[in-house]
Structure 1
Amino acid sequence: MIFSPSNPGRQSPPGPSAFTRLELVLMIALGAVLISLLLGYTRRTTAKVSAVSCVGNLRQLGAGVAMYTIGGDAKLPYASLVFTTRAQSTWDTLISPVIRAEARRAISDPNTAAPGKSFLNPLLLCPSDPVPPAAWAAKNKLPRRSYAITRHNMSPQNWPPSANNATGIGLSWTFGSYGTNPPSAKVYNFEQTNRQAAVRFGMILKPAETLLLTERAWSNNIVGNASGAWIDRTSDHTDASALAPDALHQGRFNYLMLDGHVETLFPHQAVGADGEVGEDARKHLGPWTIRADD
């Protein structure tokens, strides 16, 4: 038998070469890197959008404070008012009519003492603030608030309200427990414009350097409630047990000044020269006080 040599013209074309194990590993690693980069970019973009939205919230709240002040004989909002009926009214309650918000009484209506409701207005919550409401608030379906007004300490050294006060803006009245109020503060007609003790816009000599509102990511910072309505110092920005200090805006916080502009700063940049403190070592000077030269 004669065997013919194979005809090269009839040979099958070579098929596509298969991935080697090394090439497959490299492809998987490259895919993982690309996914990681994409996720990182998405997170950074989301964080930037949230930060911009938070700044926008504060600017609109600042506009609400300005409108409230113009309509109230230049009186700036109180931090909180706690009535004998346990009804509460806070700075966000006071400006809610002018910003068309629903920051209503969290406990009850101070005019009727009837059970009240508290509604979430998107302006009052920073998109980067993930802290849930405290159990007592969640039980009553009361929503969180991300912002707080600087607190006036109402101490003898800073009474009555004036341009020389080395403390914050928001007064806190507690009716029915007058021991917590200044002895000289005998007038409690907070709805009146002229005689009521109040911090007024004309007392603020440097509005662009005076802090009005900033972030307070705390579970007890509840819409329309005195709890968490005010802030004394940068360490109050977050509740360390619920949120890392750098969790909101990569360690920065937003600060609304009284002239309406917002600054995004690290806490150490927002405490005045050399981090100075006032009569209470826990409270800051600089932008945290009414006084212009501290």
Structure 2
Amino acid sequence: MKRPKPAFTLIELLVVIAIIAILAAILFPVFAQAREKARAISCVSNMKQLGTALLMYQQDYDDSFCPPLAWMPPSGNFDTVNSPQTWDRLIYPYTKNMQIISCPSDIYSPTVQTTYGQVKRSYTMPGTFGWCWFCGNGGIENNYACANNGKFGCEFNVPVAAAGFPAITVMLYERDNCNWPNGWWNWCSVGDGTNELALRHNGTSNLLYADGHVHNVRGFPNNNSGWPNKGQYPVLPGYRCWYHDNPHQASRWSGNWHDILPYHDGIDVTCGGNQGTMP
């Protein structure tokens, strides 16, 4: 009689499959985090290059910050996609590369067809650097010769010297933009505060500061935000909190009538700080 060939039993096969499934469940999240870490590093590289270009712009324009938007009135043959001179286009002579304005982890911002080709913008500039939503509110915009001229919003020039603490002055931040293909490219080139941060990198986001360095910040659970669908805001040194000094709110850098550039109160934070009267 022939002896039966050795083989796996059904139970042994199921045990092996179960072990593989357990290992996959353990390792796949680790692989995903490692992949996201690599993308975050690529994002940091993009922001560093953008920071260098922004600093070069300052040197060529009388030590003034690059504005978020050099507005053009919507009249005549105004092209809503290609005409607005946003910060990324203003520094293009120094970068010669529009691909670095895209974060590899940005899956929400739309790609727009422009004269520069297919472009996706993943970063936004705070309004503190030269554009606010409204004029005539007594803020810094009036100190720097704000001119409305019948246009929506207010453009103003901000000298580099106005940033007393460049190491804590946010110059670019990650955002899920709203530059829809049939929209205006200037929309979302300028923003308000950390409630807009895109926490793309395992719950963290990269920030470019006025001195050229890039720093990664982590959001924290916020159960008292008062904002729908917004739950994680980092508290940033030097910035007033949204809803006026509540440390559980987002930090604000809009350049409106509230905060302008970071204010140093001795403990390096105005969100819940002890500075008393705001500047």
> TM-score normalised to the size of structure 1?
0.66
- Of 93, 97, 100, which residue of structure 1 is paired with 2:93? 97
1:225 paired residue number: 185
Give 3-state SS (helix, strand or coil) of 2:54's partner: helix
Give 3-state SS (helix, strand or coil) of 2:124's partner: strand
Match of 1:33, as an amino acid?
Answer: I
2:59 paired residue number: 70
1:277 paired residue number: 242
1:208 paired residue number: 167
Q: Is the 8 A contact 1:212 1:258 kept in 2?
A: yes
> 2: CA distance between counterparts of 1:214 and 1:55?
11
Q: Kindly indicate whether residue 150 of structure 2 is the aligned counterpart of residue 177 of structure 1.
A: yes
Quick one: structure 1 residues 226 and 83, their matched pair in 2 at CA, closer, same or farther if it must change by over 3 Å? same
Q: Kindly indicate whether residue 115 of structure 2 is the aligned counterpart of residue 133 of structure 1.
A: no
Structure holding more strand per residue: 2
> 1: CA distance between counterparts of 2:38 and 2:147?
37
Deviates more, 1:75-84 or 1:256-265: 75-84
Q: Is the 8 A contact 1:80 1:173 kept in 2?
A: no
Give 3-state SS (helix, strand or coil) of 1:73's partner: coil
> 1: CA distance between counterparts of 2:108 and 2:176?
6
1:292 paired residue number: 263
Q: Is the 8 A contact 1:80 1:172 kept in 2?
A: no
> 1: CA distance between counterparts of 2:70 and 2:240?
31
Quick one: structure 1 residues 198 and 211, their matched pair in 2 at CA, closer, same or farther if it must change by over 3 Å? same
Deviation at 1:42, TM superposition (A): 2.5
Match of 2:213, as an amino acid?
Answer: H
2:195 paired residue number: 235
Deviation at 1:40, TM superposition (A): 2.6
> 1: CA distance between counterparts of 2:35 and 2:263?
37
- Identity, in percent, stands at 24
> 1: CA distance between counterparts of 2:43 and 2:211?
17
Stretches of structure 1 that go unaligned for 5 or more consecutive residues are 1-10, 102-120, 163-170, 183-196, 239-245
Match of 2:170, as an amino acid?
Answer: L
Relative contact order (alpha carbons < 8 A, sep ≥ 6): 1 or 2 greater? 1
Q: Is the 8 A contact 2:40 2:105 kept in 1?
A: yes
> TM-score normalised to the size of structure 2?
0.69
Q: Deviations over 1:194-253 (max 9, x none)?
A: xxx511111111100111100111232789921110121122224xxxxxxx5x112211
> 1: CA distance between counterparts of 2:114 and 2:212?
35
Q: Kindly indicate whether residue 98 of structure 2 is the aligned counterpart of residue 124 of structure 1.
A: no
Q: Is the 8 A contact 1:221 1:228 kept in 2?
A: no
Quick one: structure 1 residues 157 and 139, their matched pair in 2 at CA, closer, same or farther if it must change by over 3 Å? closer
Residues 1-294 of structure 1: pairs in structure 2 closer than 5 A: 14-84=3-73, 85=75, 86=78, 87-101=83-97, 121-133=98-110, 137=112, 143-152=119-128, 153=132, 155-161=137-143, 177-178=150-151, 180-181=153-154, 197-220=156-179, 225-238=185-198, 246=199, 248-267=200-219, 268-272=233-237, 276-277=241-242, 284-285=251-252, 289-293=260-264, 294=270
Give 3-state SS (helix, strand or coil) of 1:98's partner: helix
Give 3-state SS (helix, strand or coil) of 2:215's partner: strand
> 1: CA distance between counterparts of 2:180 and 2:55?
23
Stretches of structure 2 that go unaligned for 5 or more consecutive residues are 220-232, 265-269, 271-279
Q: Deviations over 1:160-215 (max 9, x none)?
A: 457xxxxxxxx9987x6346438xxxxxxxxxxxxxx5111111111001111001
RMSD over aligned Cα, in angstroms?
3.6
Deviation at 1:25, TM superposition (A): 0.5
Q: Is the 8 A contact 2:64 2:158 kept in 1?
A: yes
Deviates more, 1:279-288 or 1:150-159: 279-288
Deviation at 1:291, TM superposition (A): 4.0
Q: Deviations over 1:113-139 (max 9, x none)?
A: xxxxxxxx22101011011428xx569
Deviation at 1:145, TM superposition (A): 0.3
Give 3-state SS (helix, strand or coil) of 1:226's partner: coil
Deviates more, 1:84-93 or 1:264-273: 264-273
Question: Greater Rg, structure 1 or structure 2?
Answer: 1
